[in-house]
Amino acid sequence: MKMLFIMFGLLCALPTMLAADIPMPLRSTQAFLQADTLVLCSAFDELSETRVALFLENTSDIQPKVSVTQGPTEWLLPDEFSVLVVISGLETDAATIDCAKQSAPYGSLVVAEISQAIEQLGEPAKHPNKRIEHALGNVMWLQSLYYHEDFNLVTVVIGLTNASASSLNDTLLHLFDLPKTACLENPACFAAEK
């Protein structure tokens, strides 16, 4: 099984863990709008399948093809690709882990992906330049992508240290690589950003 790992946090991106011959079909998470299915396993009630679907329906200038589904769900090999989104806080609850394990076609490997990403929450941000690293402070929000070519699947692990309106809106925006203006008139966004 081939796996690609990319992390997006504050200002840094970590290199991939695979050889360069693995094709990465996604140049931006905005490609998730064209996925067959997005399965959501969220530890936060505020970031439910209903809210994500409402967000997409009310974002102007996009025409999403993706169907948003609440996990757990049985895995079906997609025509194009699908996305499994796991959203967690500092500690991942058992229900979120079970949802991810039941939804991922590769079973318990998803637990390692979740742990690898979430263990960086609250820790000091890492950057090759020590001055920049010192200025960044602790990781408060992160998004890690794991590409599973054998299953046409991208697993996204998003970690939040708190469920503030700003963090929840950033999660909706960054999941689909959309600008902050996408929240201006969108009823799915939380009040602090309007």
**31-47 tens-digit pLDDT:** 899 999 999 999 999 99
pLDDT value, residue 16: 34
pLDDT value, residue 24: 55
Tokens of 61: 């200038």
- The runs of H, that is alpha helices, within 20-152 are 49-57, 94-103, 109-118, 130-136
Average pLDDT of the residues of the chain: 84
Q: In what order do the strands lie in the sheet with 82-88?
A: 12-13, 3-9, 141-148, 153-160, 82-88, 37-42, 67-70
Q: Convert the pLDDT of each residue in 101-130 to its tens digit.
A: 999 999 889 999 999 999 999 898 888 998
CA distance 108 to 64: 30
Residue 80, number of CB atoms within 10 A of its CB: 13
Question: Quick check: 37 and 171 in contact, CB under 8 A?
Answer: no
pTM, whole model, 2 decimals?
0.83
